[in-house]
Amino acid sequence: METTLTILKPDCVRKQLTGAVIDKIERTGFRIVAMKKTKLTKETAGAFYAVHRERPFFGELVQFMSSGPCVPMILEKENAVEDFRKLIGATDPAEAEEGTIRKLYADSKGENIVHGSDSGDNAQIESSFFFSTEETVRVNN
Ligand code: GDP
Which atom, in ligand 1's list, is nearest to the CA of 60?
26
pLDDT score of 96: 98
**Which amino acid does the sequence have at 46?**
G
Catalytic member of 22, 96, 115, 127:
115
Q: What are the structural domains of the chain? A: 2-39+69-140 (3.30.70.141)
- CB count within 10 Å of CB 63 equals 12
Beta bridge partners of 77: 2
> Which whole number is the average pLDDT over 91-110?
98
Q: Is 52 a catalytic residue?
A: no
Mean pLDDT for 120-130 is 98
**For range 55-77, the mean pLDDT:** 98
Closest residue by Cα to atom 27, ligand 1, is 110
Any ligand 1 atom below 6 A from CB of 110: yes
Contact (Cβ atoms closer than 8 angstroms) between residue 62 and residue 12: no
